[in-house]
Amino acid sequence: MVLLSAQRWIRSRLTDRFWRVQEVLKYARHFRGRKNRCYKLAVRSVRRAFVKSTKARREKKRILRALWITRIEAASLEHGLKYPAFISNLLKSQVELNRKVIADLAIYEPKTFKSLAALAQRRRQEGFLAALGDGKEPEGIFSRIVHHY
Amino acid sequence: VAKTSLTSPPWPEVKLPDPVEEAKYHTEVVQKVNKMIATGQYGRLFAVVHFASKQWKITSEDLIMMDNVLEAECGDRIRMEKVLLVGADDFTLIGRPLLGKDLVRVEATVIEKTESWPKINMRFWRRHNYQRKKIIVNPQTVLRINTIEIFPCLS
């Protein structure tokens, strides 16, 4: 018999199934149970792991900000100020440090944090006097706004 | 007149110190700090710098990694303006909001420019046959903070 059309007898075969499977299993090697060995279970677990990590990257920013706020609150309570008073008075005295840096200062530079708390307390008192006195007494020194032109 | 619960307001009375005495005290403190800076009686300085839309607390010999591209070759020296706070052991200089450029000088060198590890972005809706997978690689730059210097020009 003469095979007139030889091309029809060659079918394509999947030859790199091993590497395609390893691509998925390499992300599942540290999982618990059969999902670190069996491909069918691993595919589902790896997919869930990727989706959770993408969502967690957005949540991480919120979690870290809440952590910094808790730490700043604890540190300012040690100096006799509450967190909203501390932050609002710092912003009113034109000190634009963000919560990450203030939390780091509260941990590693206690003297600097104490001076920031004293600044906020003084600005708070000047605010009270300005609100109660209605402008007859001299304005506070720490409430002066610095203009950079 | 007898003191009742309504004679004085319920909030604690706030008294500020005398302005003249306060001004004298302030000038004294400023002169002392200026003398300390001029004579060099400080140990390690730390600074808070606003760079690449983030605030960093840095000292000398520090490594910083930014998640973006910097238009400077490897080995270029960079001066960071926008310093928010400078401190040593005994004194801190707080800027409102920034400190002057003639007061602080922060120098850094660009060490390496690489890419981040491949982060995987995956979206999946169950029972809807929808999944998208994207690999994100961000360019990163590593800087080494060489020196932080302060000059005695307080007033």
- Residue among A50, A94, A128 whose CB faces B120 most closely: A50
- Residue among A57, A97, A125 whose CB faces B48 most closely: A97
pLDDT of residue A146: 82
- Is residue B39 in a domain? yes
- Is residue A117 in a domain? yes
Q: What percent of chain B has pLDDT over 70?
A: 100
- Is residue B7 in a domain? no
Q: Is B47 exposed, middle or buried (0-12, 13-18, 19+ CB in 10 A)?
A: buried
Q: Say how many domains are in chain B.
A: 1
Chain centroid offset of residue B114 CA: 25
Q: What is the mean pLDDT of chain B?
A: 92
Nearest CA-CA distance, residue A19 and chain B, Å: 19
Q: Say how many domains are in chain A.
A: 1
Q: A119 vs B120: CB contact, 8 Å cut-off?
A: no
- Is residue A27 in a domain? no
Peptide bond into B118 cis (omega under 30): no
- pLDDT of A53 higher than 90: yes
- Is residue B94 in a domain? yes
pLDDT band at A141 (very low <50, low <70, confident <90, very high): confident
Residues 6+ apart with CB under 8 A from B112: B74, B141, B142
- Is residue B8 in a domain? no
Question: What average pLDDT does this structure show over A9-15?
Answer: 84
* Radius of gyration in angstroms for the set of CA atoms belonging to chain A, rounded to a whole number: 32
Q: Note whether B121 contacts A: Cβ–Cβ < 8 A.
A: yes
pLDDT of residue A7: 65
Nearest residue in B to A130, CA atom: B14
pLDDT tens-digit readout, A69-119: 999 999 999 999 999 999 999 999 999 999 999 999 999 999 999 999 999
Give the residue with greater pLDDT, A145 vs A119: A119
- Owning domain of residue A117: 62-130
Q: Which helix (H) or strand (E) holds B65?
A: strand B62-66
Quote the ipTM score: 0.89
Q: Could you give the CA distance from residue A2 to residue B9 in angstroms, rounded to a whole number?
A: 113
- Owning domain of residue B29: 17-148
Q: Could you give the CA distance from residue B65 to residue B68 in angstroms, rounded to a whole number?
A: 9
Question: What average pLDDT does this structure show over B134-142?
Answer: 95
- Is residue B154 in a domain? no
CA atoms within 13 A of residue B51's CA, in its CB half-sphere: 25
- Is residue B9 in a domain? no
Q: Note whether B99 contacts A: Cβ–Cβ < 8 A.
A: no
Question: Other CB atoms closer than 10 Å to residue A125's CB: what's the count?
Answer: 16
Question: What average pLDDT does this structure show over B66-70?
Answer: 92
Q: Is B79 exposed, middle or buried (0-12, 13-18, 19+ CB in 10 A)?
A: exposed
Give the residue with greater pLDDT, B39 vs B155: B39
- Is residue A66 in a domain? yes
- Is residue A20 in a domain? no
CATH assignment of the domain containing A126: 1.10.1900.20
Q: A95 vs B95: CB contact, 8 Å cut-off?
A: yes
